[in-house]
């Protein structure tokens, strides 16, 4: 396991992050404490130190389990949790980005994790209401109180993150150090804005659902579509029945064929693709429901892709350019902006 510096911080985190959303059986689809502990142990044995959870994962069980597992080695691991999503649908202030929910959610997470601080505290999503100045000031107060070391943004618009970090710089507040975004071979929308955003603001980029909910493991294909119909992932967000849409199955089948020629599992190849992103380093958040799944996926670290293989993977699902990026890529625009020497201009 190699290590990377987390954005503008000096914090060292492993190149694979252990996602613990499946720790706990409260929702009927997770893993038992015994299996979760084994997965945690294998990850630590491999040198992993970056642990990701959230206050809503398995109704708090994920945090409680993780708190037990890290006991005795708290200083050796980097623990990240999140707030924003509702913990009580009947109470309006038990969700959202605002200070009240942030402070209460953190106290609850610290209690479940049996620790007095978090290494990273993620804003779990944009509530479309709370202003950036309230969020950044409240997060900074938690940092200054010693309860949080670094802060990150997940599922927030690029413009909001840029505004928040600009405000933080102007007011000497703690900026976002890392991003956690939905990114994999099937879902590549963030390439239009977020790689440039991460570079401009010196933020690390982590990827949730790097295997597209299991689609990129080779389990789902046209032949297996009917047999997979009872899979729980087909009945809940962020996938549902759309998980088996034709274009998604085509990508999965292309990945499986390429993995066969290389001599590895599709999941390993999908994860290796993330680790080889030319736009910037990506840290996949790796979860598993069995120890065997976890061991298989960890072997992605042994795969070294050449440029031809990377290009083949890229070509499976090139993201369609969105405006204004679509405009920038036209010959007409480049000529109008840079004249006849546009092809000779170096960045």
Q: Active-site residues: which are they?
A: 57
d(CA 216, CA 256): 8
d(CA 192, CA 275): 18
**Collapsing DSSP states into helix, strand and coil, what is residue 176?**
strand
**CA dihedral over 11, 17, 21, 23, signed as positive or negative:** negative
Task: Provide the token pair at 213.
Answer: 């909910």
**Collapsing DSSP states into helix, strand and coil, what is residue 257?**
helix
Q: Which of 44, 109, 102, 71 is nearest to 298 (CA)?
A: 44
d(CA 96, CA 83): 8
Instruction: Identify the bridge partners of residue 14 per DSSP, sorted by sequence position.
Output: 3
Contact 17, 52 (CB under 8 A): yes
CA dihedral 208, 227, 230, 61 (to 10 degrees): -40
């Amino acid at each position: 396991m190699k290590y990377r510096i987390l954005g503008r911080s000096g914090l060292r985190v492993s190149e694979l992050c252990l996602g613990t959303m499946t720790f706990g059986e409260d929702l009927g689809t997770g893993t038992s404490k015994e299996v979760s502990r084994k997965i945690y142990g294998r990850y630590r044995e491999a040198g992993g130190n970056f642990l990701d959870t959230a206050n809503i994962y398995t109704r708090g069980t994920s945090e409680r389990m993780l708190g037990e597992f890290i006991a005795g080695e708290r200083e050796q691991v980097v623990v990240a949790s999140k707030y924003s999503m509702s913990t009580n649908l009947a109470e309006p202030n038990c969700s959202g980005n605002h200070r009240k929910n942030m402070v209460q959610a953190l106290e609850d997470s610290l209690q479940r994790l049996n620790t007095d601080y978090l290494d990273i505290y993620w804003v779990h999503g944009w509530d479309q209401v709370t202003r950036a100045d309230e969020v950044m000031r409240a997060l900074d107060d938690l940092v200054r109180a010693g309860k949080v070391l670094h802060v990150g943004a997940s599922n927030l618009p690029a413009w909001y993150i840029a505004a928040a970090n600009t405000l933080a710089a102007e007011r000497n507040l703690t900026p976002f150090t890392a991003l956690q975004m939905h990114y994999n071979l099937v879902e590549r929308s963030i390439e239009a804005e977020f790689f440039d955003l991460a570079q401009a603001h010196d933020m690390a980029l982590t990827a949730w659902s790097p295997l597209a909910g299991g689609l990129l493991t080779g389990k789902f294909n046209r032949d297996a579509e009917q047999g997979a119909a009872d899979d729980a992932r087909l009945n809940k967000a962020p996938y549902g029945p759309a998980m088996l849409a034709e274009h998604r199955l085509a990508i999965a089948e292309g990945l499986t064929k390429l993995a066969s020629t290389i001599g590895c599992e599709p999941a390993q190849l999908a994860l290796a693709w993330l680790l080889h992103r030319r736009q910037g380093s990506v840290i996949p958040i790796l979860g598993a429901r069995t120890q065997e799944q976890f061991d298989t996926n960890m072997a992605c670290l042994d795969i070294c892709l050449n440029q031809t293989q990377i290009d083949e993977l890229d070509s499976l699902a090139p993201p369609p350019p969105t405006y204004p990026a679509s405009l920038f890529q036209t010959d007409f625009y480049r000529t109008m902006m840079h004249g006849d020497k546009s092809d000779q201009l170096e960045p």
